[in-house]
Structures are given as structure tokens and as C-alpha cells.
Structure 1
């Protein structure tokens, strides 16, 4: 006659550290602990801004009050949103193109020393050239449409993607590559199973830099020649001495960069939960 075995308490294995999955309350507490300092700093900056405006230490046409800026944001929501969407679209399109082209270029450079020696100096030269200096050329060549803005965003965001990806692909442990070759893995299998996963932490570091630079690139393109977008809004407000609208445009532009940065960081957390950068004692994460 068989006896049913009742599950007993789980035994701890000597020398093996176990860590329970944090609950919702613990995760919320860690999020509050991580975010209260930047929130406090932003609140202090807001209070200082309000104090300067209330004391009239600076003329209102130079530094508007937070209330005047908020009135613009709430009173002209549709106008600001229309131009915000244009800039966001240009930023995302430029960022995606920079990521695709940058990753492909990095892979080719790592697997071909000839291509790396040929392409790397050109990339460095393209990076050091001020983009705002060559932006008018793109407008002359490509017109006032979306293409010049996207191209500038690609050029600005491209370099961090390439450098971080090349660094990640080269940082793989040589012993892992030798083991893979010894076991008969083909080059594409080694890339898919070893090189690419190992390069992701470096790549995401570059992506977080690139996505914020893409916003700058799109706005720079709008500064040079555009009839829509946040860059156009800021230029128009500057010409009309409409500082509340100018501050509103700057705040929205900064918000786009912050939101995109956080989205990339969330993607990193979901795809790389095993990496050291996602451990609880890390203080660089924003959530």
C-alpha cells in the first residue's frame, strides 16, 4: 500500500545564498527611497524659480513665473501637443535608424579589422564636427521637410551606439569564444548565443545616451529650418519675447528626453534582469 508523501519545508543548502522575491510593498519602498532625492531637488529648483519670480529679482520678460508657464501649458495644450508630437516622431525615427545602422556597423567593424581601421576615423571625424554647423547644409540639400531633422538626430545618436556596441562585442571573455569554437559552434551561433547577449549591457548604456541626444538633434534641425516642432515653437517664442511659451517648450522638450530615457531603462531592466547594473544596491537607476 503506497503512502502519500507530504511536502515538507524547503531545506537550505549550505553555502548557497537564497533571496526571496521582493513583494509589492518592498518594491514600492525601494522606488520611493531611490526617487525622493531627485524629486526633492526638482522641488527645490521650482521653489527657487518661484521665489525669484515672486520677488521680481528678474524682469518677467526674462524669467516668467511658474504660474505664467503653467497657464501656457494648460491654455495652449493643443498647440503645444501638436508640435510635441512632431518632435517626438522625429526623435524616435532618428533614434531607431541610429540603433539599427549603428549595431550593424559595430558588428562589421568587430569582425573585420580592415573595416574598423577604415570606418573608425571617419566616425570620429563626423562626431567632432558640430552638427549645428552642418545642419543648414542638410536643409539646403534636403529641404524643410522631416528628412533633415531625422538625419541630424541620426548623426548625433549614431556614435554612442556604435562605440558601446563595439566595446560590448570586444569585451566577451576569450575563453568563452575558444570554448564555443572547440565545441564546433559556427560563427553566427557564437554571435547569437555568446557575443550579442554579452554586449547588451554596454549597448543599453549607449542607448540611454543616444536617445537623449536624438531629442537634441531633432530640435537642432528644427532650429535651422522648420515650420513645426518644439524647436520652431522655441524660436517663435524667442523672436516674440514670449518667455512663458519659451519656458513651456523647454520643459516639454526636457520631459520628452526624460520619458524616453526611462523607457530605455525599463527595457534594460526587463531584458537584463541578471546583470549587475540591475542589482538592488545600484543607485544609478531612476526607478
Structure 2
């Protein structure tokens, strides 16, 4: 027995009942710790850029970004709205398509054999390579941006949904068959509840991919949106404005991701499934 073992055994484990209520609160840690880390990172960013006299064309301190946000807030807010709307619409379209496709792949072997190789091949195509085709097919308006969002986000949702539907307990499926339940009833009562954690995992990945697709579309086609602001600011070497738009993009992404996490919490609670108390949302 090593020396560290009796020392560890002699040290009493902390009693959760003796800790303050705020220290035992997992939501408190989930909120405060990320905020504290972000504050420390911003402070280090501010100090280093000022002390090292970094060129404003390369990197600006957070105080300059805040000044731009304060000055151009109405314009930036107006440009944030179309990006948010396109992201939400594209994500919802991708979610519906991905869940339906995942269910079809599990419910029908022939559908899987006929469709899945083509879906996989289409996914392997570099996303930038199909940008000209989307512009030809859907024009320079919001249609192409939605196509980018759906194209980038539906695949992880479909894969996660299919994985979740296949993860259903085989004994529960056999029990439904022995009780003369139809395949659709077994799907709704057994496969769907088992697939909920997997589906929401894919939805979280798809939410982040949807905003990437919208921004790519705004880079190529849009005359509005935060992606257009980033392209306009970077072409004019307006680094502070670029960082301000990127910061608002992060806010949009967090809003969409948070909505998905809230939806997962509500669905799990409705089904009576346990809610995770640690880790990522």
C-alpha cells in the first residue's frame, strides 16, 4: 500500500450538507464558471493588446469592440435579425428532414439501401463546391441561405435520429409485436422515447451547423445580415466592427443552442426521463 493511500483515507470527504446552498447548486456553477472564464479571457485580451501595442488592423482590444457596439447598435441589431430568422427557419427545416429521414432509414430496409448511399455521397461533397449550384437553383435571396443551412445541419440530425431509433430495447419491441401493436405504434411508444437523447444530440450539432450555413450564404449572396457585415468590415480593415459582428453571431448561436437545450429539458421532463445534473447542457 502506497503512502498516499492512508493520507487520502484519513482526509474526510466533504459533506454536501455542510456546504452553502450556492456552492451545491449545479446551475450556479454552469452560469458563474463560464462567465468568470470569459471575463478573465477578455481582461487578458485587453491588457495584452494595450501593453504590446498591437496594430488595430490585426487585433483590437475589447473596449474598442464595445465602443463600436455602442455606436452602431441599431444598425447591428437590424442586421442580426435576418441572420437569426434564417438560422431558425433553416434549422427547423433541417430538423424535420433529418428526423423523418432517420425514421425512414430504420423503418424500411429498402429505403436505407436505396437512399443512404446517396445521402452519404452528397454529404462528402465539399460545401463550398455546391455554393454556385445553390445560387443557380435558389437565386440570390434567402432561398440559397436556407439551402446552405439545411445542407450543413440535416446530416448530423439524421444520423443521430437513426442511431437513436435503432437503440430501442429489442425486448420492448418484441413485447409490442406480441401484443399485436402495429409498427407505427411501436415506433411512437418505444423507438421514439429511446431516441430522444440521440435526437437532441444531433439537434445541438445541427443548430451550430445551421448558423454556419447561413453565414456562408450571407458571405456569397446576401446584402444584409451579420455575414454581410463581416465581409464589408473585413474588406475595409474595420477590425473592431468585424469582432462586433462575430460577437453578435455568438449570441445568435447561443440563443438557438439554448432553445434546443430547453426543448430537451421539457421533453425529457414530459417523458419522465432523468435530467443530467452535470456536464454540457
Same fold (TM over 0.5): yes
Q: CA RMSD in A?
A: 1.7
Q: Deviations over 1:80-125 (max 9, x none)?
A: 1111111111111110111111111111111111211222222222
Which of these residues, 43, 47, 53, is aligned with residue 49 of structure 2? 53
Q: Deviations over 1:205-245 (max 9, x none)?
A: 10011001100000001111210111100000011111111
Q: Please give the residue correspondences for 1:168-187 in structure 2 after superposition, counting only pairs within 5 Å.
A: 168-187=164-183
Q: Please give the residue correspondences for 1:4-43 in structure 2 after superposition, counting only pairs within 5 Å.
A: 29-43=25-39
Q: Find the aligned partners of 2:119 and 2:32 in 1 and give their Cα distance.
A: 40
Q: Find the aligned partners of 2:56 and 2:22 in 1 and give their Cα distance.
A: 45
In the superposition, the TM-score normalised over structure 1's length comes to 0.86
Once the two structures are overlaid, the 10-residue window that deviates more, 241-250 or 116-125, is: 116-125
Which of these residues, 126, 133, 140, is aligned with residue 129 of structure 2? 133
Runs of 5+ consecutive residues of structure 1 not aligned to the other structure = 1-24
Asked if 2 retains the 8 angstrom alpha-carbon contact of 1:153 and 1:217, the reply is yes
Cα distance change, pair 251–28 in 1 and its aligned pair in 2 (3 A): farther
Match of 1:104 in 2: 100
Q: Find the aligned partners of 2:106 and 2:218 in 1 and give their Cα distance.
A: 35
Match of 1:275 in 2: 273
Once the two structures are overlaid, the 10-residue window that deviates more, 153-162 or 39-48, is: 39-48
Residue 237 of structure 2 corresponds to residue 266 of structure 1? no
Match of 2:120 in 1: 124
Match of 1:67 in 2: 63
Once the two structures are overlaid, the 10-residue window that deviates more, 264-273 or 209-218, is: 264-273
Match of 1:239 in 2: 235
Match of 1:150 in 2: 146
Runs of 5+ consecutive residues of structure 2 not aligned to the other structure = 1-20
Q: Find the aligned partners of 1:132 and 1:27 in 2 and give their Cα distance.
A: 47
Tell me the SS of whatever aligns to 1:135: helix
Which of these residues, 77, 87, 90, is aligned with residue 81 of structure 1? 77
Which protein has the bigger helix share?
Answer: 2
Q: Find the aligned partners of 1:79 and 1:122 in 2 and give their Cα distance.
A: 43
Tell me the SS of whatever aligns to 2:25: helix
Q: Find the aligned partners of 2:89 and 2:112 in 1 and give their Cα distance.
A: 26
